Chains A and B, each alone.
Chain A
Amino acid sequence: MQPITQLRATTFVLREDNIDTDQIIPARFLTTTERSGLGRAAFYDWRFAANGAATAHPLNTEAAGHAILVAGNNFGCGSSREHAPWALLDFGFRAVISSEIADIFRSNALKNGLLAIVVDPAAHAFLLAHPRIELRIDLETMTILGPDGWSTRFALDAFARRCLMMGVDQLGYLLAQDEAIAAFESARAA
């Protein structure tokens, strides 16, 4: 994963609360054995009618070029499918901001370099009310800077932050614990 220290991009707003993983990528697209090319399936049932024609949804008409998704409360609830962040990244999003993000989705997103960021309700309300603004998400200071001096702080797990900023390979990190894991296994077997 490429190290990320900051992201400067504009926002696209989906106001709905509880946008679940079946909306982000419907289950019928999960028969793939790959992780690439899933942007096509992102929000598919919002973006395409039953006959396959593109709908007038803002995801089709306004989202292009905006890499920060600002979404309603409890984004990513539902399933553990990592296809959800894969689809969002392939669609062009680099960050998701909400007032609450479901645990498994958030963990999956951060492992793929999709910045899943939870802000306080006041900052969330501001971002929902001001679409298409430029933000700078700074992982070093854990701050989001907006127009006219607007800013807000966010919390991010120290390890997840280090992995994002240093491009730490988490599987490699775990494999480096081999001695401790082997000791744990033999202590239990005894």
Chain B
Amino acid sequence: MFEARLVSCAVFKKVLEAIKELLNEASFDCSESGIQLQAMDISHVSLVSLMLKSNGFDKYRCDRNITMGMNLASMSKIFKCANNDDTVTIKAQDDADIVTFMFESKKQEKISDYEMKLMNLDQEHLGIPETDFSCVIKMPSAEFARICRDLSQFGESLVISCTKEGVRFSTNGDIGNANIKIAQTSNFDKEEESVTIDLQEPVTLTFACQYLNHFTKATPLSPQVQLSMSDNVPLVVEYVIPDLGHIRYYLAPKIEEDEN
């Protein structure tokens, strides 16, 4: 028997918004430690790794580890039927082929049940090694989303270069080029508005804008985003989901022209 209950359905809705553009379907691995999801997009260029810890739920029970393959478009249809302040309970029997989502309205006067067929997904799991990154940038998530959106108008790829002076995002395309430079700022009153750079050595990497734009769909989950970069390893874009877990996106760099 698996049962997980969240008093606010809003955060789950946001999580779905954050992954459903990259993934058509995904396996939710439920264990005593929580709900985990790891999946690559179709192109195998990016990967989503989601962790919702069991102690972040208002009620959590998982007698046996189960993997639930779900179609994310269907799941998001179901969650569209729920209000943000509804309580959501996700239920499944061991070895079940359906999952039940139950939404209870705040005053308990309305209870809706949705049953969804589960899918058998044969997904590849990647072993992600722990890495000491050359630079770790923390910045307001809305700012990062804005930069990605703005610069993606000019070119397909975004160059992120991090030095001790700051981070530079740049792109160039047919109309010309664009540059945005962000310097470190500390804002003690509002920590979520500060930009911090933890730099071991300078790094410059190029990424495809469109993936970054998909990642920034997670912006409503967290006021801050963390970008971790090292030469020759995928970029990690992490959003912490307060009290519940995190969502991490991994993105392989673009092939440099001289590599071909």
Task: Tell me whether A and B are bound partners.
Answer: no
B interface vs A, CB < 8 Å?
none
